[in-house]
Amino acid sequence: MNKFVEAAKIKGVVQHYAWGGFNFIPDLLHLNNEEHQPYAEYWMGAHQNAPATLVGVEPNVALDKLIAEDPSAYLGEAIASKFDGKLPFLFKVLDVKDMLSIQVHPTKAEAVKGFARENAEGIPANAAHRNYKDDNHKPEIMVAMTEFYLLHGFKPAAELKAVLAEVPEFAELASYFEGDNYKALYAHIMELPQSEVDRILAPLMERIVPAFQQGSIEKTSSDFWAAKTVAEADSISENLDRGIFSIYFFNVVKVEKGDAVFQDAGVPHAYLEGVNMELMANSDNVLRGGLTPKHIDVPELLKHTKFEPTVPNILKGDDRTAAEKVYGSPAPDFEISRVEVSEGQLFNAPAGHSFDILIMLEGEEATVKSANVTYNLKAGETGMVAAGVDYTIEGNGLLFRATVPN
Binding site, annotated residues for Zn(2+): 103, 105, 140, 269
Report which of 381, 335, 346, 334 is spatially closest to residue 361, judged by C-alpha positions.
381
| Sign of torsion over alpha carbons 124, 125, 128, 130 | positive
Residues 206/238, Cβ–Cβ less than 8 Å: no
> What does each C-alpha distance from 100 to 143, 363, 390 come to in angstroms?
17, 30, 39
State the catalytic residue, choosing from 130, 242, 288, 401.
Answer: 288
Q: Is 338 a catalytic residue?
A: no
CA angle 370, 373, 377 (to 5 degrees): 90
User: What does the alpha-carbon distance between residue 339 and residue 361 come to, in Å, rounded to a whole number?
Assistant: 10
Residues 263/89, Cβ–Cβ less than 8 Å: no
Contacts of residue 340, Cβ cutoff 8 Å, sequence gap at least 6: 323, 325, 397, 398, 399
Pairing of strands 250-255, 148-154: antiparallel
Please list the active-site residues: 288
